Amino acid sequence: MQALTQLSEEEVMFRDVVRRFSKLEIAPLVRQMDEHAKLDPALLRKIFEQGFMGIDIPEEYGGQGGSFFQSVLMIEELAAVDPAVSVCVDVQNTLVNNAVRRWGSAEQKQRYLPKLATEMVGSYALSEAGAGSDAFGLVAGAKQDGSDWVIDGQKLWITNAAEAGVFLVFASVDATLGYKGITCFLVDRETAGLKVGKKEDKLGIRASSTCEVVLSGVRVGQSAVLGEIGKGYKVAIETLNEGRIGIGAQMLGLAQGALDHAVAYAKQRKQFGKAIGEFQGVQFTLAECAVEVEAARLLVYNAARLRDAGQEFVQQAAMAKYYASTIAENVASRAIEVFGGVGFSKEYPVEKLYRDAKIGRIYEGTSNMQRVVIAKHLLR
């Protein structure tokens, strides 16, 4: 029986392409993008040119026609160099593209998928001030006016908002129906009444844009409804279940990147006449980190394989995100300790990875929410 981490020849080739791209094109820009809190536009164009923004979009729409697992491999490899770039690509593939591909009408697919694969960034506008872990506690509303819908509301902490050309906006068409009134709308950036507001000044993943999105009298037609009226909760739940695997892959890649930096430094840094990697205390630290990273990889890959096989994966996705986000923080912290004083400075990359790791336990479902999901599946 092959290990879950075993990759096919095609998957290895794809992973190596992403790894090479990350080292050559992303690595030289990481510090600059972090300091300026902005994704380099030229880099974003190169990411599109590589096909990374449309991995499992069918070839007929200009995508790569790949698998969900390939998206996970890509997210992991990008995150090993820069988690901020990784999350931009992650949201595009696991949330936005995924939702349009699964619930979009023929017309919506034809209109949006070719652009999402080649030039347009998408954004997933669900969260609000009072709708975080309680995702369906949103107050954004959509009222019917003739054959149109008029949307009003304020979305917060929206990833990719600064670059996005289209937003998946979740709003309630009838607050008395609770979550059964929630509907998903495809709203173009240039639509009158949509405004991208304040950009958050964040601890980590700073190059990834996180903004307020204000909708004031935004008018869209029936053709903007993604899926069915009142079924937006289904779009959200099912895409976020898969998105958890993506975040797990991001945290896995981050942890692997931190471990790689620590190992390289332990080989070349000398104290007391020998490399610090020869001291058992450092060896034990690196060994523990390696075990945690490999365990996280097994969980993430298993969840992704189950999803591609059409099998139940929700509990496994929650486990993958919960564990990978936990060990990412731990591994990045211990990597700084291996570096010692210089690890605390911005001269070396591990302090950034440590800052980037914190969000993994928060977004797309906090660690406590993952525990809830795991426990419910155990007890049902």
Joined tokens for residue 345: 């400075």
3-state secondary structure of 180: helix
Joined tokens for residue 199: 């950009």
169 - beta bridge partners? Answer: 125, 185
Q: How many CB atoms lie within 10 A of CB 346?
A: 10
Joined tokens for residue 197: 């507001």
Cβ(182)–Cβ(170) below 8 Å: yes
Tell me which residue has tokens 């939702």. Answer: 99
Structural Rg of the chain based on CA atoms: 21
**Which letter, b or e, does each residue of 266-299 get, where b requires 16 or more Cβ atoms within 10 Å of its Cβ?**
beeeeeeeeebbeeeebeebbeebbebbeebbbb
Cβ(153)–Cβ(171) below 8 Å: yes
Nearest-angstrom CA–CA distance, 329 and 309: 30
Q: Active-site residues: which are they?
A: 364
